[in-house]
């Protein structure tokens, strides 16, 4: 078991010009987190005493984001001197001067790096008593990476950057991930000796290794087989590739924990989503943000849930929900839109082409189809007929409607809020309700039907409509009983 590090330093000051974006590279997102958010999550697994994030490009935006997701993190500003060595030095200057023990250095653009991998790096560092331990990997094409130079005993002699490497050194396939464990005192002393005398004119962190070796201290390598954990993001192509791989891993983790994901290739699950065992996720679904799905629930096909809670045995299909709660055994969809503030009770139903917002639809209540239900409370077992509109907005303010338990609202009704329809009440179909309805009443708010004789003769003379009306009158029928074309007659 590795001891916790004194600090983790995350280098996040780079400009990321190849992203071609006004958004700082480390703030681009995959699996529901920013790139730097993934780095912070991995660092947390090691339980560091201190966490520092080095910033420079778009400093205010990056610092604000870090403060939001990791309020305890120290923000360290890199000055005009370029290079990872200088960035690390700036972080150490921002951390307590009495800091001792081991410090980890990672990057803000390596989103697949796992906290357990950092823990194994720390464990090897402790076991070998090394001054520096570097994470490395063997890759088929090492172009662009710093090469790891080994001595006769197998320890790390130095790391040479691509632009400073000889032809022979460039043929080495073991590359530097840029992730290190350092003895703090050794790191501070070595950084004071690092210069910018190189092809890039930067203060390289890699130069620390040669300095440490020259002082007779040990530098070891922790080789990882999982190359994805060393992959950084430099452009949007790499961002998409890493997003696909991370999603594959997240889906696999859920499947191995007892979740059925019918088609992982078309299912996207964010890193902070939780899914109960025996839930089923059907193709084309996206579970985003802090969404939770209960056991035995069925999600999909074609569902997008963002920060939404789904209870056990609920069924949600062809639906979009955002900041909503879907109760146990509730059914939603198809083609429903649950907006923020929607809460569905146990065994409730929201059906096809229904939109809800700030709606409390309680146990057993039904809003089956073609309805807008906003700023409303629908009591237990109430039934809202097709085509009902909760007219909650008067152009200035939103108003609330309550439909009591076991009440029934007929189809094609407009409820002009604020209205209170009591328990056990009815609203007749086609009504425009503007006043409260008491228990046991039926509200009828529509004009009485009036049939005007001779209207077609006066206004549609000579049309096929008049001809059919004349024929029906002559025959003494209200409509033809002759089968229409296409019915096989």
Q: Which residues are catalytic?
A: 369
Neighbours of 241 (CB within 10 A): 15
CB 242 within 8 A of CB 30: yes
Query: Rounded to an integer, what distance in angstroms lies between the CA atom of residue 327 and that of residue 66?
Result: 34
Find the largest Cα–Cα distance for the chain: 115
Closest CA to 326 of 298, 353, 302, 301: 298
Query: Rounded to an integer, what distance in angstroms lies between the CA atom of residue 176 and that of residue 150?
Result: 12
């Amino acid at each position: 078991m590795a001891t916790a590090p004194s600090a983790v330093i995350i280098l996040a000051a780079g400009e990321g010009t190849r992203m071609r974006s006004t958004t700082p590279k480390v703030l681009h997102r995959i699996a529901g987190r920013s790139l730097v958010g993934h780095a912070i999550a991995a660092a947390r697994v090691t339980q560091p005493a201190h966490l520092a994030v080095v910033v420079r490009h778009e400093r205010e935006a990056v610092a604000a984001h870090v403060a939001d997701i990791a309020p305890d993190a120290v923000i360290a500003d890199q000055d005009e001197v370029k290079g990872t060595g200088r960035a690390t030095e700036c972080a150490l200057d921002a951390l307590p001067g009495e800091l001792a023990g081991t410090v980890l250095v990672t990057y803000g653009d390596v989103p697949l790096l796992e906290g357990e991998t950092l823990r194994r790096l720390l464990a090897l560092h402790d076991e070998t008593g090394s001054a520096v331990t570097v994470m490395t990997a063997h890759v088929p094409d090492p172009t662009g990476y710093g090469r790891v130079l080994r001595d006769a005993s197998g320890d790390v002699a130095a790391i040479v950057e691509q632009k400073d490497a000889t032809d022979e050194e460039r043929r080495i396939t073991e590359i530097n991930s840029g992730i290190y464990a350092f003895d703090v005192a050794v790191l501070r002393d070595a950084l004071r000796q690092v210069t910018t005398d190189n092809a890039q004119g930067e203060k390289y962190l890699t130069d620390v290794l040669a300095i440490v070796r020259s002082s007779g201290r040990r530098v070891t390598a922790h080789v990882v087989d999982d190359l994805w954990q060393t992959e950084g993001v430099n452009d949007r192509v790499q961002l998409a590739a890493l997003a696909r791989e991370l999603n594959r891993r997240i889906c696999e983790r859920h499947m191995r924990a007892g979740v059925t994901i019918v088609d992982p290739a078309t299912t996207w699950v964010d890193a902070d989503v939780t899914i109960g065992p025996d839930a089923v996720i059907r193709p084309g679904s996206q579970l985003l943000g802090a969404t939770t799905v209960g056991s035995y629930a069925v999600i999909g096909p074609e569902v997008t849930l963002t920060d939404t809670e789904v209870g056990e045995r609920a069924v949600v299909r062809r639906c979009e929900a955002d900041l909503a709660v879907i109760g146990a055994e509730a059914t939603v969809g198809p083609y429903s839109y649950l907006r923020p503030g929607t809460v569905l009770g146990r065994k409730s139903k929201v059906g096809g082409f229904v939109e809800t917002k700030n709606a409390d639809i309680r146990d057993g209540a039904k809003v089956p189809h073609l309805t807008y239900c906003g700023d409303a409370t629908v009591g237990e077992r109430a039934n809202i007929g097709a085509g009902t509109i909760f007219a909650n907005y008067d152009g200035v303010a939103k108003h609330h409607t309550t439909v009591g338990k076991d009440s029934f609202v007929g189809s094609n009704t407009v409820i002009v809020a604020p209205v209170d329809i009591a328990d056990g009440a009815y609203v007749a179909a086609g009504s425009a309700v503007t006043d409260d309805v008491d228990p046991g009443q039926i509200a009828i708010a529509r004009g009485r039907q009036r049939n005007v004789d001779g209207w077609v003769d006066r206004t549609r003379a000579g049309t096929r409509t008049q001809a059919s009306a004349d024929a029906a009158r002559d025959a003494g029928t209200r409509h033809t009983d002759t089968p229409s074309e296409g019915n096989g007659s």
